[in-house]
Amino acid sequence: MLMLRMKSSLRFFEQTILLLFWSATAVWAGEPKGSASHGTNIFAPASTPANSIADLSVFVLVITGIIFVVVFALLIYSVVKFRGRAMDSGREPAQVYGSTQIELAWTIIPILIVVVLFLATARVIHAIEDAPEPAGAVEVTVIGHQYWWEFRYPKLGIVTANELHIPVSDLGHPTPTFLQLLSADTDHSFWVPELAGKTDLIPNHPNRMWMDPQRTGLFVGQCAQYCGTQHAKMLLRISVDRADDFVAWVHAQQKPAAEDAAAIAGRRVFEGNACMNCHTVAGTSANGRFGPDLTHLMSRTTIAAGAAENTHDKLRLWIQNPGAIKPGSLMPAMKLSDADLNAVVSYMETLQ
Amino acid sequence: MSAVTTSFQNPAAAWHLPSRGKVAMAGLIIAESAIFTIFVVAYLFYLGKSVTGPTPSEVLETPILYTICLLSSSLTIHLAAKSLERDYRRLFLGFWLLTIALGGLFLYGTAQEWHRLIYERGLTISTNLFGTTYYSLVGLHAFHVTAGLIMLLMVATFGFIGRMGVSQSGRVAVLSMYWHFVDAVWVVVFTVVYVLGR
Amino acid sequence: MSSNVITVPVSQTEARPWVDELHQWLTTVDHKRLGILYIVSSLLFLALGGVEALIIRIQLMHSHNNFVSPEVFNRMFTMHGTTMIFFVAMPILFGFANYLVPLMIGARDMAFPRLNAFSFWLSFLGGLLLYFSFLGGSGLYGAGSAPDVGWWSYAPLGARAFSPGHSSDYWTLALLVSGFGSIGTAINIIATILCLRCPGMKIKRMPLLVWMNLVMAGMVLLAITPLSAAQIMLLIDRYLGGHFFDTQAGGSAVLWMHFFWIFGHPEVYVLIIPCFAFMSEIIPVFSRKPIFGYPVMVAATVCIAFVSMSVWAHHMFTIGMNSYANSFFTLTTMAVGVPTGIKIFNWIGTIWGGRIQFKTPMLFSIGFLFQFLIAGLTGIMMAASPFDWQLSLSYFVVAHFHYVIVGGILFALFAAFYYWYPKMTGRMLSERLGEWHFWLFLIGFHLTFDVMHVPGLLGMPRRIYTYEPGRGWDTLNLLITIGAFTQAIAILVFVANLIISYFKGAEAGNDPWDAWTLEWSISSPPPAYNFATVPTVVSRRPLWDLKHPEDPDSRYE
């Protein structure tokens, strides 16, 4: 993968700027900065695409910063130095109409700046967009829905929702994740700032992106393309796992739904009401595709695409009345009796 | 009482500026060209992308006769305008009515074509992408022909009551600019739909 | 050199009954009155759009707020954007163009006065139609049936399947109707400038304001029409079962994006170029020097007009275009910064060596220069498409375009108000209130829009009705909201100034600023016929030549 090559002194200068930026903006961010949980700061990249972007961004910021300082200085100087004084009134200053040399100078210099910026940018565009997919890459198909994320691992036979698990990648032996982006309804955008730039999910227009996170932990993001009422609550959680943890997770997800005899009543409620028309529970007759796959619901820390914690009370409230948590969500209130509701929740809680 | 004083030099010698009618019509033509361009782009973009339903080569028949009618009407309106410039009022009215007739024939041909497509071949605006883009593009053009014909009929009425003379030739020139534009658009639409598209 | 002095008596008339006055205003075809109608109606929509903005800001003041429901919030940001672009910015600029262009070219009216009136009323009624949408659906408290698809109405969100009911139709129809009004005005401006210039006013002698409105009008013809075409296609989809943007039938959501942004990008240049025009008239007068590099300013404007037609897909960097397309649009977007930057340098070159008078129009002009510079530079940042893959669809973009629209366009408009209000009303606006307005607005503007860049850098997307705590966005959003209210207060000061000065302002006379273009040669307000005799000009600054016969511009041009 191509990286921006700079002279070492200039690179040091840029890393310093990057560090200053990161520190300054990190002051605002509340997230603890350990390996456990990460924030959404585009200047705290943890993956090659995000790194390349951050490096390019600093370069662009330095250049535009210099332009700003120069032009601003000229503006302030001219406003201060040439302010009219009372004694001047009545006399007009020299009426200067222009100067061809000056015009040429301030045309050519910006053109050169544009050329430099463009070349630097084109390299990064190509490096990120045209990166080939290596053999060991994890493949995920992301399908955007109003208002949740469907994740399918075609080669691993896994289907899950809203919370993605991918392996950490080592620059020496990269194990990147390549995402194919599709949409089931309207436009969405996949944005986890510390791992990559965003790419849209557009119906009838498959897209592709990749990331190779170099730190473990939880990375967060959310949908960035307005998709309807609950666009704001289409959150993303990406758990970057160590290789062995990732393998363990895969194996757990590949199993069909746990069968717990104690929850049979709840399962009957689930299958008897319209739940199975929208949801899948692998290994049962429920195979709906409109809503998230629930086979391993309890392996997720949140429900409703991050709108609520995955606790007993919230789960119960969600099934009883989704509008209380996420008004505008496309899951209807099922209008279950209390007994049925409790049974279904118990059943859900067996789906580890 | 307040006074407004102005003091400038005497008006200069010959100061010629373009006629505002022609400039305005040129502006309208530019704007309309942009609208048609977008519809043509959509048509071309969606060629071959229909998921179902009849394709252009299966159902379209090249409307040679009606195209000749419309394009000839450009000639007749030009002759009408020239006649009016020389104040040959009857000749003007004759060519003008011929223009209207040819334009009307074109619209009749379009209507006939659409009737055949809808009732015999089952192609409507909602059938597939081809249907949507075809009826929209050809329909937008036909709408502009209709609007033009209405204007032409108004002028014909003025002609019949004896109000059209050489002093109106500027306005007639502006209107014929519009009519030429409508014909030029048909050349493009015809090429895109009946030549390239099949 | 002989000169004609013509005395035109203006007789006193009795005050007319208000019904008559109202009728005069409703049926006027006079470009000056239509200009004022455009400006006043824009100020009304500015108030409505401003209230929508304040509702947005209150809701976003802290995380997990519930001042309004998500449905209402989504209608608010859609209406705010649509209102501000189509019913505030465009009409107010058309209003100033209408008022000033005939005066500056020595004409008596626009080329087509009745078309002028028709265009205004189309525009205004389009706005009323849009706001009528508040009265449908779930009632006023739930923001009725106002559109909630964002001001771009991306496909397929705007399709029947995802927007049942009529909210989307209000958006589409209101903009179609007012769009036709805009096209009419653009045609009128072009015909006026090309066909009604007074003798001696060759194209290369026109004031820059006239040049720039000519370029703007040309762009309107080519920019608004793609949107009209796309909206007709959307209506065909919604009502005739068409499939233009129906992804299930093979249609393309990306095609809507292309059509929309082929409109959308030139549109923002349509908005800024008349503001360049104001700056090019005001800065020279308050620097007491002619504009530096008149021919270059013209060339740069024309260059911007052409290049800006090739940059549109920089709004689409995240949709997955291939690397060649992304590179192309990166290049063209960066390229359009060159002529734009040249203009900033020319304005500074105008100030340089001058004798600056810090009256209110100049205060706002200096603010414009500072802010437009920053806005242009954040634009260059986003032109680098990988950087844009992070910044797009976030609050960084929102900060950038508000920096241009509020920090650039609105500041230039304020300058224009303070500069030409004396001409339109015969009264000076209060300098004192003007300074209060300027400083309050400046502080509020910077508090809101400087800070707003940071949540974008910290990952906050746009168009979200609420956000998670713990992302570091809370304090920033609170500061942004405080700035918004500060700006609102400043606007109230401005409106107070407009009203109070109308009754109590100092008399302006013909030429309160000692300026040089033709509108300052006639009374304030001008008579209905503008000029008693059509003037003849021999230079770019006719009044400078009259006031300085020993050193006229005509000697140097």
- SS3 annotation, C386-399: HHHHHHCCEHHHHH
CB B5, CB C5: distance < 8 Å: yes
CA-angle at C158, arms to C152 and C161, nearest 5°: 165
Chain B residues near residue C243 by CB distance under 8 angstroms:
126, 128-129, 132
Task: For chain A, 352 residues long, give each residue's pLDDT as a single digit of tens.
Answer: 334 444 444 455 555 665 565 555 554 444 434 346 899 999 999 999 999 999 999 999 999 999 999 999 999 999 999 999 877 777 899 999 999 999 999 999 999 999 999 999 999 999 999 999 999 899 999 999 999 999 999 999 999 999 999 999 998 889 999 999 999 999 999 999 999 999 999 999 999 999 999 999 999 999 999 999 999 999 999 999 999 999 999 999 999 999 888 899 999 999 998 899 999 999 999 999 999 999 999 999 999 999 999 999 999 999 999 999 999 999 999 889 999 999 999 999 999 9
A337 touches C at CB < 8 Å: no
Beta bridge partner(s), residue A180: A141, A208
Q: Which residues pair with A238 in a beta bridge?
A: A164, A219
Q: Cβ C460–A64 below 8 Å, yes or no?
A: no
B27/C1 CB distance under 8 A: no
CB pairs A-C closer than 8 Å:
300
Assess A235–C contact: CB distance below 8 Å, yes or no.
yes
Longest distance between any two alpha carbons in chain B, whole Å: 80
Q: In Å, how far from its chain's centre is CA C445?
A: 17
Question: Are residues A233 and A267 both part of a single domain?
Answer: no
Measured CA to CA, the distance from residue A331 to residue A319 in angstroms comes to 9
What's the full length of chain C, in residues? Answer: 557
B122 touches chain C (CB under 8 A): no
- Is beta strand A217-223 parallel, antiparallel or unpaired with respect to A148-153? unpaired
Interhelix angle C31-59/C90-104, rounded to 10 degrees, is 150
Answer whether C205's CB lies under 8 Å from C545's CB. no
CB contact under 8 A, C199 and B45: no
Instruction: Tell me if A248 is assigned to some domain.
Output: no
Between positions 1 and 20 of A, the ones with CB within 8 A of C are none
Chain A contact set for C458 (CB, 8 A):
25, 28-29, 39-42, 193
Q: Do A152 and A291 sit in the same domain of this protein?
A: no
Length of chain B: 198
SS (H, E, C) C187-198: HHHHHHHHHCCC
CA distance C448 to A180: 38
Q: Is residue A85 part of a domain?
A: no
Of the partner residues B6, B51, B125, the one whose CB lies closest to the CB of residue C535: B6
In contact, C70 and C148? CB cutoff 8 Å? no
- Which pLDDT value is given to residue A15? 59
Res C140: pLDDT: 67
pLDDT of B6 higher than 80: no
Q: Check residue A262 and give its pLDDT.
A: 87
Structure tokens at A59: 């370069």
Collect all residues of chain C within an 8 Å Cβ-Cβ radius of residue A111: 338
Query: Is residue C194 within 8 Å of C281, Cβ to Cβ?
Result: no
Return the exposure string of B121-139: e unless at least 16 CB atoms fall within 10 Å of the residue's CB, then b. eebbbbbbbbbbbbbbbbb
The sign of the dihedral angle between the CA atoms of B73, B78, B82, B85 is positive
Contact of C522 with C103, CB cutoff 8 Å = yes
Is the same domain home to A167 and A289?
no
CB C377 within 8 A of CB A69: no
The DSSP secondary structure of C493-536, one letter per residue, reads HHHHHHHHHHHHSPB--S-TT---SGGGGS-SSPPTTS-SS---
User: What pLDDT score does B97 carry?
Assistant: 98
Q: Alpha helix locations (H) across chain A?
A: 8-28, 48-81, 100-129, 243-254, 264-272, 275-278, 312-320, 322-325, 338-348
Residues A3 and A124 in one domain: yes
Are residues A179 and A166 in contact, defined by beta-carbon separation less than 8 angstroms?
A: no
User: CB distance from B125 to chain C under 8 Å?
Assistant: yes
Pairing of strands A207-211, B2-4: unpaired
Closest CA to C237 of A114, A304, B46, A219: B46
pLDDT, residue A7, reads: 43
Residues in chain A within 8 Å Cβ distance of C289:
92-96
- CA pair distance C93, C105, nearest whole angstrom: 18
Q: Which residue type does C168 have? A: S
Name all domains of chain B by residue range, CATH numbers in brackets.
64-121+141-196 (1.20.120.80)
Asked if residue A95 belongs to a domain, the reply is: no
Write down the pLDDT at residue A18.
58
Q: What is the residue range of A236's domain?
A: 1-80+100-241
Give the gap in angstroms from C-alpha A279 to the nearest C-alpha of chain C: 22
What is d(CA C64, CA A283) in angstroms, rounded to the nearest whole number?
38
CB-based burial label for B195 (10 Å; 0-12, 13-18, 19+): exposed
The encoded tokens of residue A116 equal 């430099």
Interatomic CA distance for residues C353 and A95, integer angstroms: 9
Task: State how far the Cα of B107 lies from the Cα of A113, in Å rounded to an integer.
Answer: 57
Inter-chain CB proximity C191 and B20 less than 8 Å: yes
Residues B94-127: pLDDT tens digits?
Answer: 999 999 999 999 999 999 999 999 999 999 999 9
> Could you tell me if A280 and A232 lie in one domain?
no
Distance from C-alpha of A271 to C-alpha of A200, rounded to nearest angstrom: 35
Contacts of C391 in chain A (CB under 8 A): 42
Residue of B nearest to C525 (CA): B4
Residue A51: count of CB within 10 angstroms of its CB? 19
Q: What is the pLDDT of residue A261?
A: 87
Cβ atoms B165, B85 nearer than 8 A: no
Nearest alpha-carbon partner for A148 in A236, A229, A280, A275? A236
Last residue of a domain, one of A211, A241, A271: A241
Largest CA distance in chain C: 78
Q: Pick from A213, A241, A269: which residue ends a domain?
A: A241
Check C6 against B5: CB less than 8 A apart: yes
Segments in chain C below pLDDT 70: 1-15, 137-143
- The interface residues of chain A toward chain C in range 161-220, judged by CB-CB distance below 8 A, are 181, 185-187, 189, 191, 193, 196-200, 202-205, 207-208, 220
The encoded tokens of residue B90 equal: 């009857």
3-state secondary structure of C246: coil
Whether domain C33-555 has CATH 1.20.210.10: the reply is yes
In a 3-state reduction of DSSP, which class is residue B177? helix
Q: How far is B25 from chain C (nearest CA, A)?
A: 8
Q: Do A118 and C334 touch (CB under 8 A)?
A: yes
Which of C12, C190, C220, C243 would best serve as a mutation to test chain B binding (most B beta carbons within 10 A)?
A: C243
What's the rounded Cα separation, in Å, for the pair A348 and A57? 46
Dihedral, CA atoms, C209, C215, C217, C221, nearest 10 degrees? -170
Instruction: Measure the CA–CA gap between A177 and A243, rounded to whole angstroms.
Output: 13
Q: Is A213 helix (H, G, I), strand (E, B) or coil?
A: strand
Token pair of B137 as six digits: 């593009």
Query: From the list A96, A193, A306, which residue is nearest C292 (CB)?
Result: A96
Say yes or no: C254 contacts chain B, CB-CB below 8 A: no
Inter-residue contact A279 to A351 (CB < 8 Å): no
Shared domain for A170 and A308, answered yes or no, is no
List residues bridging with A287 in a β-sheet. A280
Domain count, chain A: 2
* Cβ contact, residue pair B20, C240, below 8 Å: no
**Which residue is closest to A84 within chain C, CA to CA?**
C355
Chain C environment of A31 (Cβ under 8 Å): 470-472
**B146: part of which helix (H) or strand (E)?**
helix B129-160
A188 and A269 in a single domain? The answer is: no
Q: Looking at the structure, do residues A222 and A271 belong to the same domain, yes or no? A: no
What integer pLDDT is reported at residue A36 of this predicted model? 66
Q: B18 at the C interface (CB within 8 A)?
A: yes
Largest separation between any pair of C-alpha atoms in chain A: 99
Q: Is C139 on the interface with B (CB under 8 A)?
A: no
Examine the domain organization and report whether A105 and A23 are in the same domain.
yes
Contacts of C353 in chain A (CB under 8 A): 82, 93-94, 96
Residue A237 near chain C (CB below 8 Å): no
* Among B9, B32, B125, beta carbon nearest to C241: B125
CB of A145 closer than 8 Å to CB of A231: no
One domain for residues A170 and A140: yes
| Among candidates C323, C472, C553 on the partner chain, residue whose Cβ is nearest the Cβ of A28 | C472
- Statement to judge: residues A237 and A271 lie in one domain: no
B11: buried, middle or exposed (CB in 10 Å: 19+, 13-18, 0-12)? middle
DSSP state of B1: -
- Run of H or E including A183: strand A177-183
Half-sphere exposure of C40 (CA within 13 A, CB side): 11
Contact check, Cβ <8 Å, B35/C183:
no
Q: How far is C552 from chain A (nearest CA, A)?
A: 10
Secondary structure element (H or E) that encloses residue A241, with its range: strand A235-241
Chain B 35-54, residues with CB within 8 Å of chain C CB atoms: 35, 38-39, 42, 45-46, 49-52
Are the CB atoms for C258 and C154 separated by under 8 Å? no
Q: Tell me, what's the pLDDT at C199?
A: 97
| Contact (Cβ atoms closer than 8 angstroms) between residue A323 and residue A243 | no
Q: Residue A333 and residue A328: Cα distance in Å, rounded?
A: 11
Strand-pairing partners, residue A166, are: A240
Cβ of A197 within 8 Å of Cβ of C386? The answer is yes
Among A210, A241, A272, the domain-final residue is A241
Domain locations in chain C?
A: 33-555
Query: And the tokens for C551?
Result: 């050193």
Q: How far is CA C391 from CA A4, C316, C461, in A?
A: 20, 12, 9
CA distance C244 to chain B (A): 7
User: How far is Cα C251 from Cα C258, in angstroms, rounded to an integer?
Assistant: 13
Q: Hey, which residues 113-172 in chain A have their CB within 8 Å of chain C?
A: 114, 117-118, 120-122, 124-126, 128-130
Residues A110 and A231 occupy one common structural domain = yes
Residue C159 has which token pair?
């399709």
- Interface check for C527 against chain B (CB to CB < 8 A): the answer is yes
Strand partners, A302: A309
Is C295 in Cβ contact with A98 (below 8 Å)?
A: yes
Domain with A266 in it: what CATH number? 2.60.40.420
Beta-sheet strand order (sheet of A235-241): A163-167, A235-241, A217-223, A188-191, A199-201
